Each structure stands twice: as structure tokens, then as C-alpha cells.
Amino acid sequence: MKGKVAVKKQDIELFCQKIFDFYRNNRREFPWRETTDRYAVMISEIMLQQTQAERVVPRFNSWLQHFPDPAYLASAPLRDVLALWSGLGYNSRAVRLHRCANIIMERFGGTVPSQPELLKTLPGIGEYTCRSIPVFADNLDIAAVDTNIRRIIIHEFRLPEDISAARLQHVAQVLLPAGQSREWHNALMDYGALELTSKKTGIRPLTRQSKFQGSKRWYRGRLIKELIQREGMFVEEIEEKYASCPWEIDEIIDDLITDGLVERHESPGSISYPLLKIKGG
């Protein structure tokens, strides 16, 4: 690779020893670390996107009780999926998981694929997640670089913060101890979460979450929560209820329809007001 970063073998050995030593003394316990089931790992990895691990624990356990495999999830009404997801934020992740389950049933015989290139064809599975799923489920010798791991590598090896994703991926792959991918990535996660934090290093993530309260995402979440609890709402009622919303409520509704969360229906009877419902509900 042109311009690839050189890392000394001795530095790699010392770094690996430091990370594993920290992990032995500070290992966190999570239910998704106790399974190698690829479906369960996929659920945890999607839930952990932009959500703190401690908040995910009860939702992960509840999810597997209700939807223990792709077949259960694919056959569930979207309303039930969103109801169980409620509180995790970014409801579109639940919609994409629902779609994933249907595709897995149709194209992969109900088994979550293990190859990164196939995983990346599923909705909501990006560059990191297509690698992290087989890392944690199958101990695949491939580096998966998220925000925490990016920060650790940049800090420990004094790399520029604007290093390209390709070069960073190369360094991460060089650092990976063969045959220990699962434990290595768990160790890095714990080191980044407990020791080498963003606040301590000053290294900012590539993307930052905006303020949630009063944001467009906040209003989206409130509307979805109401629609889960009701059979439907007239669009006119929604417009009146959210009249103080600083965003165009019609635009929010259109976005929710585009994202596959809700659908617009003609109301029954002679009333011509359109009705908004959870998709498939």
C-alpha cells in the first residue's frame, strides 16, 4: 500500500502486552461476550452503535428473549420490533435489523453470513460492523476499527489525526495478534472505554452527536413512541400537537416514511384526513 505506516516489531510486542495486561485486570462483563452466536453478536453490534454499553445490556437480553433468531425477528410486526427497541434511540437501526432478518431468511437460509463482503450487503452493516461481527462470533483474524480503536492507535503510535481510513486499517491489521482476534478487540474496547478516553487524549471522533433534546431526532423519537402506543394518528392532529416544533413536521413525517418506519393511509369513512401508522401495523 502506497504511504503505509511502518510500525516496529518491538513496539508492537510492547503494545500488545500492555493492552492484554490491562484487560486481565479490568475486563468488563457483558452478555454478548458470553456468546459466539453470530445473530446475537450482530444484534449487540447494531445496538452498541452510538449507545452506551450499560444501556444496551437489558435491551439485548430482552431482545433475544423475544426474537432469539432471524426467523423470529423476520416474522415479527415492525410495531413489536420498534416497541422493544424504544429507548435505545435511532429507531431506523431497528428497521434495518428487521430488514436484515428478512434478507437473511431469503438469501442466506436463516444463517447470518460470516464473510465481511456478504455482511456489508445487509442494511445498516458498514465497514466496521461487517468486520466486528465475524471478529466476535468467529474469532476471524481481521482488524475492526471503531472510534475507540482509532483513538488508541493514533495516540499510542503518534499518528496524525487526519490519517486515512485505509492507512489506519493497515496499522490495525499489523497490530492484530494472530488467533486472538476476539480477545484482542475486547481488550482494546475496554482500554479505550476505561483508560485511554477521548477526554484524556483530546482526540475527537470523526463524527460527533449533536444535542438530543429538542433536535429533529428527538421529535422523530417522540412521534414514533406515540404511534407505537396507538393504532394511528391523523396527520392534522400531529401537526397541531407539534405546532411548536422548530422543524417542519411534514418533513419529519416524510423522512420517517422514507426510512420505512411509518406509512400514510387514507382514513376510513368519509373523512379525508390522512392517517399515519407504524409501517405494517
Whole-angstrom distance, CA of residue 63 vs CA of residue 82 = 11
pLDDT at 132 over 80: yes
Residue with cell 477521548: 198
Pair 196, 250 in one domain: no
Whole-angstrom distance, CA of residue 99 vs CA of residue 76 = 11
Residue 1 lies in a domain: no
pLDDT at 25 over 80: yes
Per-residue pLDDT tens over the stretch 193-236:
999 998 899 887 776 555 666 788 888 888 888 888 888 888 88
pLDDT at 136 over 80: yes
Q: Which of 34, 45, 226, 231 is catalytic?
A: 45
- The whole domain housing 237 covers 216-278
Q: What is the pLDDT of residue 1?
A: 45
Per-residue pLDDT tens over the stretch 152-209:
999 999 999 999 999 999 999 999 999 999 999 999 999 999 999 988 998 877 765 5
Residue 64 lies in a domain: yes
Q: Which amino acid is at 65?
A: Q
Last residue of a domain, one of 140, 175, 201: 201
Pair 196, 222 in one domain: no
Residue 117 lies in a domain: yes
Q: Indicate the number of domains in the chain.
A: 2
Pair 94, 48 in one domain: yes
pLDDT at 267 over 70: no
Pair 117, 184 in one domain: yes
127 is catalytic: no
pTM (two decimals)? 0.82
